[in-house]
Structure 1
């Protein structure tokens, strides 16, 4: 009895094979790697930079937690007040009276055509006293008082850049689960790829690099007029200049952010993030694009096979195998990153996310105008 594989079923099998390769080569080994050592090289002082635009309430929550970091080597906090119209200036001025290692840089205006955040960060970096710098956003908080300690250990690998993980706080509702899943999947990609020797991005909510790296890339010069990319495009430029990148993914090194509350706000946020991807080098675009494309092909082909009754049994078998492997690896990654989503929700979130991702891609192709706050 002959066995005939239709072109659609063959495409489905190929897409699943590609996904299983990524799971087996990148995600699962990264999830199973040994914990970071508790002892590291002799720590050095660090400059912690936060750029804020009308973020007073967030700063009231963040800055005390940074001040409470257990880091005997010493650190300074540089708050870049980027054109704020609230009482950020008064609040930080009060802190500087009690904490001499808190400093403020005030940005009154941004030159025409330049990215406001990149311009503000550049001014902050120029005033940093220490060669090692750690960056986070005003709407984040460190997960523990060991955040500084963990992140600086990455420099001792040795490395010139350290990429960390930044999760979103769990809240009720499907949107929150989807945001957390997207963040988790993005983190799984850039952390595991970097661990395998293919660093391509980081997130500004939890990123560290040296002053020498910033100078080697001429700062943000290659993309200073692009709104996004103060993190991932800088990593792209730094790697091109030979920078060594370390991954620090211990839960104690994470930062935690408050997610947006509406679908529209998340849509705008993701459009801004994805727009930077066009500037990635070709090998990185291919590595990320093949994984994302394989998932999209899987869902598109599976929907088509629903209208082919002779293939239903094969479709069901392939779907179960893929779902089982994917859920098992994602659950293991969730434990490794201490960012767990309900196991039963993973197949649903995976499907919804990739259709949402496809819609975002079409939106960016048709309408490329982006805005910054």
Structure 2
């Protein structure tokens, strides 16, 4: 049992030291001094008037010479339409796309995003959500088209706004760890996902690969499944500077958070086989690690001491890497409870994954 426990540690250390550590050592990009080409920002909104009033003017006022903001009003009934029409009179760079209420349009956010992409007049598109606010007025400068002609996708990071309570800490830590994982694997030449709160790609790439056609039948995946299908080691870059980030409103209830994770779990089933394998190895060996440690506690005192030493070594090595990354990705306040959150997140994801397998299948995006 100690041998199994030690082997599980070695597997975990591969991801910590040979994947995630790469992100720690990556140089943070400097602010681009010029803007290369015009940009289309695309935001899908369904009954988001409160967030639009608070955050949309900030997006519309970015420090970028030529850009448009395409807001797709997806059948809202909360006054969003009137607000957008009033705002359109003030901002010349605001474009409104309205989806009418009809059974034909029950495909959800992917249909809304497709309508926004079709309406965008520029080749380079940056995606965010209605409940997101850029960290800086220079956000678009960081997420603009790369100088490398091969680059077709840019992955950004989007932390959640800090509030009080365990749920908020868990959400922000899970978002941090997910970000570390997909950004690190992108650096390693294996990009497997991105988040629609802070993502950019070329319009021709979308239409060349038939957009969301391959996974239009499921509610989620407008961001991660598109990246999973189209990103590779040569056409993908990342942005981790603080000014390249956008902050998002977190879920305020366990129920809404569970519903969100259920959508994400459903999308993960459609990842490429190699990505599903490597992600499965991560979670399985973490599960076996804690199971083996628990089992060792039922053996003699010598086994308990050795298992405790292995666990302590694991915590020390993880702290060495992740405490730096927490600070780098604007989540530094979580470092004081990192070991506890690491265990709680594993337990939560394991339980949620089980219920996602056997619960109701249909989950709406809004």
TM-score, normalising length from structure 1?
0.94
Decide whether aligned partners of structure 1 residues 149 and 104 sit closer, same or farther in structure 2, where only a CA change above 3 A counts. Answer: same
- The aligned residue for residue 18 of structure 1 is 11
Deviations 1:121-169 (A, max 9, x none): 1111111110010000111111111100011154647410111000001
The one of 302, 306, 311 equivalent to 2:293 is: 302
- Separation in 2, partners of 1:157, 1:325: 38
- Unaligned runs of 5+ residues in structure 2 are none
Root mean square deviation of aligned Cα:
1.7
Decide whether aligned partners of structure 1 residues 95 and 243 sit closer, same or farther in structure 2, where only a CA change above 3 A counts. Answer: farther
2:255 is the counterpart of 1:264: yes
Deviations 1:189-229 (A, max 9, x none): 00000011100100000011111110122011001111010
Is the contact between residue 59 and residue 138 of structure 1 (CA under 8 Å) also seen in structure 2? yes
Decide whether aligned partners of structure 1 residues 174 and 199 sit closer, same or farther in structure 2, where only a CA change above 3 A counts. Answer: same
DSSP-derived class of the 2:227 partner: helix
CA positional deviation for 1:113: 8.0
Decide whether aligned partners of structure 1 residues 113 and 369 sit closer, same or farther in structure 2, where only a CA change above 3 A counts. Answer: farther
Decide whether aligned partners of structure 1 residues 154 and 179 sit closer, same or farther in structure 2, where only a CA change above 3 A counts. Answer: farther
DSSP-derived class of the 1:166 partner: coil
- Separation in 2, partners of 1:342, 1:120: 35
Aligned length: 364
Decide whether aligned partners of structure 1 residues 113 and 144 sit closer, same or farther in structure 2, where only a CA change above 3 A counts. Answer: closer
The one of 158, 165, 168 equivalent to 2:157 is: 165
- The aligned residue for residue 59 of structure 2 is 66
Q: Where has structure 1 moved over 4 Å in runs of 4 or more?
A: 110-114
The one of 213, 216, 227 equivalent to 2:219 is: 227
Is the contact between residue 42 and residue 116 of structure 2 (CA under 8 Å) also seen in structure 1? yes
CA positional deviation for 1:42: 4.9
Between stretches 293-302 and 38-47, larger displacement belongs to 38-47
2:361 is the counterpart of 1:369: yes
- The aligned residue for residue 266 of structure 2 is 275
Is the contact between residue 153 and residue 231 of structure 2 (CA under 8 Å) also seen in structure 1? no
- Separation in 1, partners of 2:102, 2:159: 30
Please give the residue correspondences for 1:108-119 in structure 2 after superposition, counting only pairs within 5 Å: 108-109=100-101, 111-112=103-104, 115-119=107-111
